[in-house]
Each structure stands twice: as structure tokens, then as C-alpha cells.
Amino acid sequence: MTSPAPNSPAPRAPAPRALPHAPADHPSLPQPRIGVLVANLGTPDGHDYWSMRRYLNEFLSDKRVIDYPRWKWQPLLQGIILTKRPFTSGANYRSIWNHEADESPLMTITKAKVAKLRAEAQRRWGDAVMVDFCMRYGNPSTPAVLDRMVKAGCERIVFLPMYPQYAGATTATANDQLFRALMAQKWQPAVRTCPAYFDRPDYIDALAQSVERTLGGRRPQKLVASYHGMPRRYLLEGDPYHCQCQKTTRLLRERLGWPEDAIDTTFQSVFGREEWLKPYTVEHVADLARRGIADIAVISPAFSADCIETLEEINGEIREAYEHAGGKDFTYIPCLNDDDAHIQVLAGIVEENLAGWL
């Protein structure tokens, strides 16, 4: 886990400006600035029952995540699921919780990542650019952070969802929440949303460097690229996520210079009874072990930061499935987190989307 980062506050807003031709009672305005708003999935405020229930209720009530009719889904969610699941999810979070900072690893890593991105923005653009972050679910919320940035003078904002591959349940719902937050603003800033970066050469290179660094130059019998899953139906309805995941894996393999059968693409975090994208990671690693593959590594290219799905699911449940089926050596390759190469990727994306604004 990334060590807790000191809270690196956003640059202090310049003194309000007086409008030369305005009447004396006209409210003062902050100096105009450009904002960069980084968005991640979210995290519960704690691992206790009520914190987990609030978080899961917000997450699982999102129509982008669960698109069943409300009349069918909400009674099930509010009854059985939110009665039982906060206990099991809370136990899972407790096992990986950053107790020193009293926050989830995702929050710790996001703070560290944004602090480095803020420092890089300061180096490149000085005080002209303000960098902050929000969560789609939980705190700090998108509306609260957007409002803070507008009050600090951000008349133009670059919105950067932390998802390399586009999916309706991740990138789109983050954008949705931003657009809803804009509806509450009297004076809306101009906004640019960043596209997915699943095939950027610098992103692929950062992934490859993380593989080489973790494995120390050796090649396991199999590298499993495990992506967050989604119902297969979403692919058939036009969501590009599956195709972008496949391309990320191919480009990573080509960058590493490995043969075609060296890396497998799988999907994790299956929920409910509906068929999801296959193969399922937990089943696939067990099958590898039964086939005599005794040395595997797992990487999670869809996650920009380690979280419950990587630290507890991959390095816990999926590792156990592999070892229980007879597998020997299991190596988890951490997410890019606040790695310097990752920060340069993000800064490059921001710079491209600032074109014409600076």
C-alpha cells in the first residue's frame, strides 16, 4: 500500500478581483483559473455497518451500475442486500483498511496521486491551474468539490475520470454526476471530459515497467490481466469496455515482447445471476493450476489505484482459488497508483485537454 501522503492543499485562491466598471455594491469575483478535477470510484467513510450501508446504497442504486427496473431492484436492494452485505463488505474493508489514517487504501492512494499531480501541474503551469479530486460515490462528493472549485475562480475545468478503459458503469456515471452537479451552478464553468486512455503508448509503457519491476525481469508461465467485470449484455448493447480491455492486453504483451499465449485476459467481481464477461478470473486461475501452471502473475490494468477489488479480491480470494487448486507461485502486480510514470501519463492527458485554454 502506498504510505499516507501529507495533505497537499490546492494552491490558495488569488485575492478577489474588483470589476472596474461595476457599481460599488457588485459582489467581488475570484481571479479566473483553470481547474483539473480528478474523479475516482469512491470509498466508504468507514468499515462499520452504517458507513458501508450508505456507500453500498449509493453505489448499487446507480442505474449505470445496476440497470434493472427500479420496482424490481430496489425492494431487493433495500431488503435483503443492504441488510446482509454491509457486514461482509465491512469485514473485507477492515482486512485492508489503513488504520493509521483511518481511511481506505483507495483514499490514501488517491490523495498521494493527486498530490503528485498537483505538484507537476504547479511545475508546468504555476498557479494558473488548480488540481483537486472527487469521488463518484461517498466523499468528497463531486458536487461539493465542483462547487469549491467554482468558488475558487475555476471558469474552465478539465474532468479526468480515473478509468483507463471506458465503461458506462465507470466513466459515464462519473460524467453523469459531474453534469448533474453543473445543474446546481448559477454560473457554469466550461468543461472538458477526458477520453479513455487504454491505448496510450505512455500508459502501456508504464504498465510494462510495473510488470518488469515487480517480476525482476523473469517471465512467469502465465500473466493474467484481470479486469473488472460487467454483464455480457452491456457489450452486446454497445459498451466498448470489453474491446478496450482486449486491446490493452495486446499492447502490453507487444510492449513486453512476449509470445501470444503469455498473457490471458479475464474478468473479476461477478455480481448476481446474469452472465458476465468471461472468462471469470477466479475460475480461470484455478483452471491454470489444475493444468499444471505453477507460476502465475496477476495485473489489474483497469484499476488506476489499488482498492478492495485488488487488495482483497485478487490478493485474497483469487490467490486462494489458485493455491487451493494446486498452484504454487502467485505474484500480484500492484496498480500504477502514484508511480511517477503514471503521474506523467495523467499530466500528459491533462495537458492535451488544456489545449487552447493556456
The model's pLDDT over 294-339, given as tens digits with 9 standing for 90+, comes to: 999 999 999 999 999 999 999 999 999 999 999 999 999 999 999 9
pLDDT band at 29 (very low <50, low <70, confident <90, very high): confident
309 is in an annotated binding site: yes
In this prediction, residues 204-225 reach a mean pLDDT of 97
Domain interval for residue 72: 47-96
pLDDT band at 217 (very low <50, low <70, confident <90, very high): confident
Alpha helices in the chain (DSSP H): 49-60, 70-76, 82-96, 105-125, 142-151, 173-182, 201-215, 232-236, 241-256, 281-290, 319-324, 340-353
Q: Are residues 91 and 209 in the same domain?
A: no
Instruction: Establish if 268 belongs to a structural domain.
Output: yes
**pLDDT on residue 127:** 92
In angstroms, the Cα distances linking 78 to 65, 81, 118 are: 16, 6, 40
Whether pTM exceeds 0.75: yes
Q: How many residues does the chain have?
A: 358
* CATH code for the domain of 277: 3.40.50.1400
pLDDT band at 3 (very low <50, low <70, confident <90, very high): very low
Instruction: Establish if 321 belongs to a structural domain.
Output: yes
212 is in an annotated binding site: no
Instruction: Establish if 111 belongs to a structural domain.
Output: no
Instruction: Establish if 176 belongs to a structural domain.
Output: no
- For 49-62, how does the pLDDT look when each residue is reduced to its tens digit (9 = 90+)? 999 999 999 999 99
Instruction: Establish if 294 belongs to a structural domain.
Output: yes
How many structural domains does the chain have? Answer: 2
As a whole-number percent, the residues of the chain with pLDDT over 90 amount to 90
Mean pLDDT, all residues of the chain: 94
